[in-house]
Amino acid sequence: MKTLYMDIETSPNLAYVWSLWRENIPLERLVETGQVLSVSWKWRGEKKVTFVSDHSPGHRGMLDETHAALSAADLVVHYNGKAFDIPHLNREFVLNSMKPPAPYAQLDLLTQVRKQFRFPSNKLAHVSEALGLEGKVKHAGFNLWVRCMANEASAWAEMEQYNKRDVVLLEELHDRLSGWLPGAPNARLHSEGSDEKCPQCGKDDLRREGHAYTQLGKYQRWQCRACGAWSRSSTRVSGTQVRSAS
């Protein structure tokens, strides 16, 4: 399975406002819409981290390279990407008259964290540090985005470091949560001898752990020694098929 870790950074919307508190902004006061400023990604198991931005190779070049990366992926892993990163990128693609990228599965680690655990905060910085990971790169805050929009070279260097670290952190968090991701895309589908592979991490270090039962029969149950994920065989234990009433 070709797994792509991806993260984007965007510019803010620009509008005229009357107040700094609980202001509803009508469309006629919207001056400029935000857009994708930069994108970073890496392939699972590889050291290289790619960074593209408005600064280099330029906005359309950034979109072209991002589109190609998405089209080459079987699975895209992100953090809040289903609600943020992917819709932002899709908007940019359609605004630039680009066709949809090739279909890919998505694994949103924020969705999984919310579903499985109760951390005081679900922000990537807090969750990653709570799990013993190094966390995100610290930066100066909103001023970094302002400086990038002003095309300050040193700001773009800081943004590259920040954006790249988030992508590396995604892979680290994915590994740390492995075994706790029910419903994640099935790694077995991309390897031979599927019942002998873990559906989450794809490794073949499985041990028999009892049986799973459904309305239709009994199945061998497995636990992965590598990540701890539970799974069951796709075929019934011989002689356990339930016959339907005639």
Residues 137 and 217 in one domain: no
Task: Choose one of 177, 209, 228: the last residue of a domain.
Answer: 177
Residues 12 and 109 in one domain: yes
| pLDDT above 90: percentage of residues in the chain | 70
Residue 82 lies in a domain: yes
Residues 126 and 11 in one domain: yes
The residue segments making up the domain with residue 212 are: 193-236
Residue 133 lies in a domain: yes
Residues 102 and 170 in one domain: yes
DSSP 11: P
CATH number, domain with residue 142:
3.30.420.10
- Write down the pLDDT at residue 191: 55
Residues 218 and 134 in one domain: no
Residue 165 lies in a domain: yes
Mean pLDDT of 43-52: 97
Give the pLDDT confidence of 7-30 residue by residue, as tens digits: 999 999 999 999 999 999 999 999
Q: What are phi and psi of 66, to 5 degrees?
A: -65, -45
Residue 243 lies in a domain: no
Residue 56 lies in a domain: yes
- Separation of alpha carbons 81 and 4, rounded Å: 12
Give the pLDDT confidence of 156-175 residue by residue, as tens digits: 999 999 999 999 999 999 99
Residues 71 and 32 in one domain: yes
- Separation of alpha carbons 206 and 65, rounded Å: 38
What's the count of helices (H) and strands (E) in the chain, helices before strands? 6, 10
Residues 83 and 113 in one domain: yes
Q: The pTM is what?
A: 0.82
Residues 155 and 47 in one domain: yes
Residues 218 and 155 in one domain: no
Residues 92 and 23 in one domain: yes
As for how many domains the chain has, the answer is 2
Residues 42 and 106 in one domain: yes
Residue 183 lies in a domain: no
Residue 59 lies in a domain: yes
From 202, 220, 224, 203, select the one nearest 211 (Cα to Cα): 220
Q: What are phi and psi of 187, to 5 degrees?
A: -65, -20
Residue 50 lies in a domain: yes
- Write down the pLDDT at residue 3: 95
Does residue 53 contact residue 62 with C-beta atoms inside 8 Å?
A: yes
Residues 124 and 92 in one domain: yes
Give the pLDDT confidence of 213-232 residue by residue, as tens digits: 887 788 888 788 777 777 77
Helix, strand, coil % over all residues of the chain, rounded to 5: 35, 25, 45
